[in-house]
Chain A
Amino acid sequence: MIKSQLADAPEAVHPALWRASQLAHTSTDCLDTGYPVLSAQLPGGGWPQGMMVELLLPQHGVGEFRLLRPTLAGIAQGSIVLVQPPHAPQALALAAQGIAPSQLVWIRGTGRDGRQSSDALWAAEQILRSGCCGALLLWQNHVRGETLRRLHLAAQSGNTLFFMIRPLAAAQDASPAPLRLSVMPAPGGIEIGFVKRKGPQRDAPLFLPLTPSLLQRHAPLDRTPSASAPARSVLPSLVG
Chain B
Amino acid sequence: MVLEQERVAAMSPLARAAGVRAGMRRGGALMLAPDAQVHEREPQREAEALNAVALAMLQFTPQVAEAEEATLLLDVGASLRLFGGIRALCWQIQVSLRTLGFSGVISCAPTARGAWLLARGGAARAAAAGARQHAAQVVRSAHSHRAEQADRSAHSDRAARPGDIARRSDAEPPAYAVRVLSLASLEYSLAGLPCGLLQPLRPYLDWLEGIGCQTLGELRRLPRPGLQRRCGRAVLDMLDAAHGLLPELFEWLEAPPTFRAKLELFDRVEHADALLHGAQRLILQMTGWLCARQFAVERIHLLLEHERGREARPPTAIEIILAEPTWRDEHLLRLLKERLAKLTLEAPVIGLTLEALQVHPMLPPSESLFPDPGGSKEDRQRLMELLVARLGAENVLQAAPLADYRPEHANRWVSVQEKVRPSDARAQLPPDMPSLPRPSWLLAKPIALLMRDHRPFYGSPLKLMSTAERIEAGWWGEAETRDYFIAQGEDHTHYWIYRERPRNGDGEAEQRWYLHGLFG
Of all chain A residues, the one with the shortest Cβ separation from B374 is A78
Of all chain A residues, the one with the shortest Cβ separation from B434 is A96
What CA separation (Å) do A127 and B385 show in the bound complex? Answer: 12
A177 to chain B, nearest CB (A): 20
**What residues make up the interface of A, taking CB atoms closer than 8 Å to B?**
58-66, 77-79, 85-97, 100-102, 104-110, 119, 122-123, 126-127, 130-134, 159, 185-188, 214-218, 220-225, 227-229, 234-235, 237-238
Q: In the bound complex, do residue B380 and residue A132 qualify as a contact, i.e. CB atoms below 8 Å apart?
A: yes
Chain B 436-450: CB-based contact to A (< 8 A → 1; otherwise 0): 111111111000000
Q: In the bound complex, do residue A234 and residue B454 qualify as a contact, i.e. CB atoms below 8 Å apart?
A: yes
Of all chain B residues, the one with the shortest Cβ separation from A233 is B454
A-B pairs with beta carbons under 8 A, tally: 199
Q: Which one of A90, A188, A238 lies within 8 Å of B411 (CB-CB)?
A: A90
Interface of A is mostly: loop
Q: In the bound complex, do residue A185 and residue B411 qualify as a contact, i.e. CB atoms below 8 Å apart?
A: no
Q: Apart from A60-B518, A108-B395, what are 17 other A-B pairs with CB-CB below 8 Å?
A: A61-B440, A61-B520, A66-B519, A88-B413, A88-B442, A91-B400, A100-B426, A101-B425, A102-B399, A104-B398, A106-B399, A130-B382, A132-B379, A188-B492, A216-B434, A237-B453, A238-B454
Residues of A within 8 Å of B398, CB to CB, are: 101-102, 104-106
B406 to chain A, nearest CB (A): 12
Interface of B is mostly: mixed
User: Any chain A CB within 8 A of the CB of B373?
Assistant: yes
Q: Which one of B437, B467, B495 lies within 8 Å of A61 (CB-CB)?
A: B495
A-B contact pairs, 29 of them (CB 8 A): A59-B493, A61-B517, A64-B520, A66-B520, A85-B441, A87-B518, A90-B407, A94-B440, A95-B401, A96-B433, A105-B384, A105-B398, A108-B397, A109-B395, A126-B387, A130-B383, A131-B375, A132-B376, A132-B380, A134-B374, A185-B493, A214-B437, A214-B519, A215-B437, A216-B434, A225-B454, A227-B454, A237-B453, A238-B453
B376 to chain A, nearest CB (A): 7
User: Any chain A CB within 8 A of the CB of B363?
Assistant: no
What CA separation (Å) do A93 and B376 show in the bound complex? Answer: 29
Which segment, of B137-145, B258-266, B458-466, faces chain A? Answer: B458-466
What CA separation (Å) do A61 and B397 show in the bound complex? Answer: 21
Q: In the bound complex, do residue B374 and residue A126 qualify as a contact, i.e. CB atoms below 8 Å apart?
A: no
User: Any chain A CB within 8 A of the CB of B391?
Assistant: yes
Residues of B within 8 Å of A188, CB to CB, are: 492
